[in-house]
Amino acid sequence: MDLDDGELMLRYARGDLRAFETLYQRHRGGLYRYLSRHTRNPESASDLFQEVWSRVIASRERYEPRAKFQTFLYRIAHNCFVDYCRRSTVRAEVSGDAQDDWQGSLPAPDDERPDSRAELAQTVARYKVALADLPAEQRDVFLLYEESGLSLEEIAVITAVGLETAKSRLRYAVTKLRHALGTAAPLSSAPAAVIGIKVVVEGG
């Protein structure tokens, strides 16, 4: 049976390097996408990615599994990004020519015809611009919801806001992204599904 993340972290604190490797493999994809979509700059995302894992390593002996490991990990990631913004003193870089891993993380289109690829590229471009245009607090909640696997309650803890505030920020973000994509349909349907937006609970 697979060990849960908390047990793996405790084993790593006792010197089990394979436990850390398992944690790293489980969470590296979502963590990198979270940072990459925040910074819109591959070099900055890679630097923050390394910083997050360095902090995880440094805190291994103090780790207590009182909350899920994802909460622990993404709180560190959130704080690293906040520190990065403070250091930068400007909005995160936006580079239209930067190559990131978004395309590689997308499902392959059903049809490889040039018109289908062009439509997908246009959809992804609209999504990236809309995501970049979101207020930082809305983008943060949305990306945490998309990439971390955490509940809204846990995201509220990470971002130090109330649950209703976290819900409101997520709803506003989703509404704006839907509008940018030109669809009022659920986000689980095309074209939104091709860019990986999960279904969001509207109520509550």
* CATH assignment of the domain containing 61: 1.10.1740.10
* 92 and 112 housed in the same domain: no
Final residue belonging to a domain, choices 69, 98, 127: 98
What is the number of structural domains in the chain? 2
* 197 and 157 housed in the same domain: yes
Q: Which residue has the tokens 């990131």?
A: 100
Final residue belonging to a domain, choices 98, 119, 138: 98
* 137 and 201 housed in the same domain: yes
pLDDT tens string, the chain, 204 residues long: the values are 688 999 999 999 999 999 999 999 999 999 999 999 888 889 999 999 999 999 999 999 888 888 789 999 999 999 999 888 887 754 434 444 444 444 444 444 444 445 556 666 777 778 888 888 999 999 999 999 988 888 999 999 999 999 999 999 999 998 888 888 775 444 433 334 334 455 444 444
* 48 and 80 Cβ atoms separated by less than 8 Å: yes
Task: Show Cβ contacts of residue 183 under 8 Å, excluding neighbours closer than 6 positions.
Answer: 189, 191, 192
Structural domain range at position 14: 1-98
CB neighbourhood size of 41 (10 A): 18
- Find the Cα–Cα–Cα–Cα dihedral 115, 119, 122, 127, rounded to 10°: -160
